Amino acid sequence: MITLDVSLPRSHFTLEARLQLPTQGVTALFGRSGSGKTTLLRLIAGLEFQLGSHLLFRSEVWQNHKTFVPTHRRSLGYVFQEASLFPHLRIRKNLEYGYRRIPVGARQIHPDQVIDLLGIEALLERYPDQLSGGQRQRVAIGRALLTSPKLLLMDEPMASLDATSKAEILPFLERLKEQLALPIIYVSHAIEEVTRLADHLVLLEQGRVIAQGDLQSLLTDPELPFLQTDTASTVLHGRVKQPHSEDQLSEVEVEGQPLFISRCGLQADQATRVRVLARDVVLALSPPSDISLLNCLKTRVIDLQPDATPSQLLVRLGLGDQTMLARVSRRSAASLGLRENLRVYALVKGVAMS
């Protein structure tokens, strides 16, 4: 557990955070620009100091009223928005920079492991200016990992990347999460990244913690602002049954039901997650026939919530132990007679899911 109790005055707000964060999986610090995400990350890293703040990493005191452990003595890796590689060194030497400064007995992560994990073997003899933005960021992640940290901090590592580079790097971040038992704190204001990677979510606004908890619960909480956006969505957890069939679709089993998605690179029996936008879900009272939609999930109505658009409603649906969302017009809801506990079929395009 990471236990935080911090208070740090800034020019436009005071960062106030009392948190208990898990030391497994990915915790996302999410909020608009200027909400305090990076400041909080810097406090964890020891790059910001404030009297009266307390920080406990597992059983190690990193800061309290009489102790302040400097950054270089905290067992953490830090990945910034910009890769900041050494331009005069080849990629191999960039990777070795941190590794060589770790005592041999403390090395838990090794170059070959990182090179394979991040798919950078072909880049080792190049210089940083010969790489794409996504490639440079993969190397920066690798360099941080080779310090064998107990905690990895990532400050909007894809903020400066274009859409193509983001699509390139996301699968590697997923592999990093799956293959290394390393807690990650990930700062972002991009909900697409958060839903793809995070397990735990901390929502910040003007320096205050608005909510924290598991990702799916917060995304579907009617008291939080996620439901009132055009990108209202949920994340479904499943397991790959058949990866990349002849028609270029992968079959994922979610709560005992098949879900077909157009995502490559999955492995059979791999745990995965699928983000479904509420606007891409259509509801029916009976399973349709002669229709192009592949995904037809049996669900039940949990409740109906008002939407930011007065003519629409958000329907929260129970899918086994998970929750998904559908955005429908009030007229459609009335026509279908939608009500709590009604059994309905949720239809969604395979290509609409990420």
Under the banding of pLDDT at 50, 70 and 90, the label for residue 295 is: very high
Contact 276, 324 (CB under 8 A): yes
Verify that 42 and 132 share a domain, yes or no: yes
CATH of the domain at 316: 2.40.50.100
Q: Answer with the one of 151, 186, 216 that is the final residue of a domain.
A: 216
**Site of tokens 């400050």:** 155
DSSP symbol at 195: H
Q: How many domains does the chain have?
A: 2
Q: Are residues 338 and 312 in the same domain?
A: yes
Which of 307, 308, 283, 285 shows the shortest CA–CA distance to 295? 283
Q: What share of the chain is helix, strand, coil (3-state, %, to 5)?
A: 25, 35, 40
- The pLDDT of residue 118 is above 80: yes
- Tell me, what's the pLDDT at 124? 92
d(CA 18, CA 176): 28
Instruction: Identify the band that residue 352 occupies on the pLDDT scale cut at 50, 70 and 90.
Output: low
pLDDT at residue 266 is higher than 80? no
| Percent of the chain's residues with pLDDT above 70 | 98
**313 in the same domain as 176:** no
Cβ contacts of 104 within 8 Å, gap of 6 or more: none
251 CB neighbour count, 10 Å cutoff: 19
Q: Are residues 295 and 202 in the same domain?
A: no
Average pLDDT over residues 4-22: 85
* Predicted confidence (pLDDT) per residue in 180-193, tens digit: 888 999 999 888 88
- Any bridge partners for residue 296, and if so which? 347
Is the predicted pLDDT of residue 354 greater than 70, yes or no? Answer: no
Q: Token pair for residue 250?
A: 């992968």
DSSP 73: G
pLDDT category, 245, cuts 50, 70, 90?
low
Return phi, psi of residue 103, to 5°.
Answer: -55, 145
Q: What is the mean pLDDT of residues 96-105?
A: 83
pLDDT above 80 for 11: no
Residues in the chain, total: 354
Distance CA 169, CA 262 (A): 18
Beta bridge pairs of residue 2: 21, 57
Mean pLDDT of the region 123-142: 90
Kindly report the CA angle at 109 between 106 and 113, in degrees rounded to 5? Answer: 155
Q: What are the residues facing 322 on neighbouring strands?
A: 319
Instruction: Look up the domain containing 311 and give its range.
Output: 233-352
State residue 181's pLDDT score.
80
pLDDT score recorded for residue 264? 67
Q: Considering only CA atoms, which of 221, 220, 296, 225 is closest in space to residue 258?
A: 296
Do 90 and 191 share a domain, yes or no?
Answer: yes
What is the spatial distance between Cα 315 and Cα 305, in angstroms, rounded to a whole number?
A: 6
